[in-house]
Amino acid sequence: MKYSDGVFDKYKTRLVLLGHPGNVQPGQHWEGSKHAGTPSIDIARIFVALCVYFGWIPDYFDAKTAFLNGRCKGIERVGIRMPPELRQYDRLTGEEIYAILEASLYGHPIAALRWSEERDTFTLWKFNRDGWTAICMVDREPCLFFLTSPRPTGNRLIMVTHTDDFRVAGDNQDDVAFVVSEFDKKFGITTVTTGVMLGVKVDSGVDENGVRWTELTQTDYIKDLYSMASEYMPPNYKVSSPYPTDSEYKLSLRNKDGTCNKPPADEVARTHAKQFRTFVGMLLWICRNTKIALCTGLSFLTRVMSCPGDKAFYCLLHMIQYVYQERDTGLMFRSDRSVTPVSWYDASDDRDPADSVTVGGGLISMCGAAVNYNCGKLLHVGNAGSSHAEYMELERTIRSVIWLRELMRAAQIFRLCTGTTINNNFGKISRLHNGTPVYADVTTGCFLKWLMWHDGTDYDGRWAVVTELGTADVIVLAKDACPHGGDGPTADTIWTTLDTDGKWCINDSISVVDNLCIASIVVDPIVVIGDNINALKWASVDAITPGNKHVRTAYHWVKEHVRDGHICIRDAPSVMNLSDFLTKNMAGPHARQLIDAASGYSEQPPIPDKLKFII
């Protein structure tokens, strides 16, 4: 039975392939990986930020009986026995007739992969013809697609898929409607009109000043959580912080003197019986989607998941009460805030007595709210105090920063125009070993390629349009060499074509422009802000010194990104560090100010002009 807003909606039935690991085995009933990509939670927030920035209105829909669209291959076509009421028997022998599985039925381990392949194949086939262009961010986010329409202006679209759930938005609602209708023709869809995707409510609007906004909340989910926990709540219970601020509630399985701090077995059993793990799991889901304020408290609670006691359960109830009091807020993205990513990070020097590892946290903000955030124990013990811990968290945060930067840089579809005629749309398809991208027009088979040496000619690193890779004709060539081929040709590139005498001459009618204009958001280095000057020095000086020689070599890759201009590190006072609440249990006006700023409900601290320590 399916309910909508707590009211019965309809009955649903679904055929499911029943079995167990003993009778559906790898190598016998399927071969290779059965992994099907799913989008990160971050990409859902990035999708919202881009929609707010560009003024796009998303459409949401589900594919009907999605898995049944995938087709089984080879040994995946297993024999199946029908339910009793559907069984058939041979007329002569009376033997039961078994069926052969053709579609990737729900329950088959390979079903999700086969549906994903069918979905992605259709997307890249249908929208790379008739003037459309589509690319998949397969190297960074395999469930994210960018498209351009065949209109003269080449309207942009973005689409995110989560198995059978789709969200699509773009410059022109007619184009969006066309994409939705094509999926409906192919698979059959159900339009989502509730504004809820995967349990997250999406509300959008425009305020009295013309500022576009989108808010992500989980009010109903939080109400369900509170209802489940209400029997354990003290009467008239109110809290003023996300987590108890007393130091005794920094949970650990060991005391500071090294003695065991595990609760008695009966206390642990009693806590588990109160659904401790279920409640923590529900809080984690809320935290990962909309409530960044819960990060630090959950890093303490998860320390004692195996042996929670009364103290841990008290902290749990505190967090549930807090999130219930804040149930109507989540993350707020606004068009009057900068879409350019900015990152903050911080680390604590307060170690867990159980393993001497400390907590670090970081976030990346776009359009005024966090699109990515992390909080948890660092990978190693910082044996040089807070600077070492800060440097390890800097490295962890920069992993996400570089992922986001590379993702947005890869979002490129170049449009070649000759006067008023659109000749080609080049979408990125891969990267060569030297990091240079290859852009292809699937319709014509032409490529936009950075040429060094081609067909016996030295082109000295110039962009060109060729008819195919390998020995092929160069039909358009950039006048000047480009020292960095990785980001595609610039908008001011001068292009040449061959004249009747076989000479390359300037052709002012030709232009090659990135139609998506998303890579330009990260054309400048992404600013990363911390409050420990020593850690920032270690990242900014490409040298091993007595001060940092103890740091594991693997952490020093951050120096390369600082050196190459991918990130720009800045320092700020601790009180101005937006990520400060991700490393300690805070309360009071300052904690509220930081949490609201990270969540998009107030202004964020100003970005420092430069690093205090000048190289």
pLDDT, position 433:
47
Of the candidates 308, 253, 261, 254, the residue with the CA atom closest to the CA atom of residue 280: 308
| Best mean pLDDT range from 7-11, 67-71, 400-404 | 400-404
Q: Is residue 533 helix, strand or coil?
A: helix
pLDDT, average across residues 541-554: 83
Selecting from 3.30.420.10, 3.20.20.70, 3.40.190.10, 1.10.10.60, what CATH number does the domain 341-408+523-599 have?
3.30.420.10
> For strand 342-347 and strand 526-530, is the pairing parallel, antiparallel, or unpaired?
parallel
The pLDDT tens digits for 24-71 are 778 888 888 888 888 899 999 999 999 999 999 999 999 998 988 999
User: Please, is 123 exposed, middle or buried when counting C-beta atoms within 10 Å of its C-beta (0-12, 13-18, 19+)?
Assistant: buried
Name the DSSP class of 611.
-
Dihedral over Cα of 220, 224, 225, 226: its sign = positive
Whole-structure pTM value: 0.90
User: Across the chain, which distance is largest between two alpha carbons, in Å?
Assistant: 92
**Angstrom distance (rounded) from CA 263 to CA 308:** 7
Confidence at 614, pLDDT banded by 50, 70, 90: low
pLDDT, position 602:
96
Mean pLDDT of the chain: 89
Q: What is the 3-state secondary structure (H, E, C) of 281-326?
A: HHHHHHHHHCCHHHHHHHHHHHHHCCCCCHHHHHHHHHHHHHHHHC
Beta bridge partners of 373: 363
Least confident stretch, 73-87, 290-304, 572-586: 73-87
pLDDT, position 197:
77
The answer to whether residue 384 scores a pLDDT higher than 80 is: no
**Angstrom distance (rounded) from CA 216 to CA 314:** 28
pLDDT, position 27:
82
pLDDT, position 1:
65
Give the DSSP letter string of 445-501: TEEEEEEEEETTEEEEEEEEEESSSSS--EEEEESS--S--TT---TT--EEEE-TT
Q: What is the 3-state secondary structure (H, E, C) of 126-152?
A: HCCCCCCEEEECCCCCCCEEEEECCCC
The answer to whether residue 593 scores a pLDDT higher than 80 is: yes
**Selected residue with higher pLDDT from 436 and 335:** 335
Confidence at 219, pLDDT banded by 50, 70, 90: very high
Name the DSSP class of 30.
B
The pLDDT tens digits for 422-467 are 677 888 776 554 556 678 888 788 888 888 887 788 888 899 998 8
Instruction: Give the start-to-end residue ranges of the domains of the chain.
Output: 2-198, 219-325, 341-408+523-599, 413-515
Measured CA distances, 573 to 242, 397, 558 (Å): 23, 18, 22
Phi, psi of 273 (to 5 degrees): -65, -20
Look up tokens 């609201």; give the residue: 596
Phi, psi of 364 (to 5 degrees): -125, 130
The pLDDT tens digits for 234-261 are 999 999 999 998 877 788 888 888 888 8
Look up tokens 């990737």; give the residue: 104
Confidence at 233, pLDDT banded by 50, 70, 90: very high
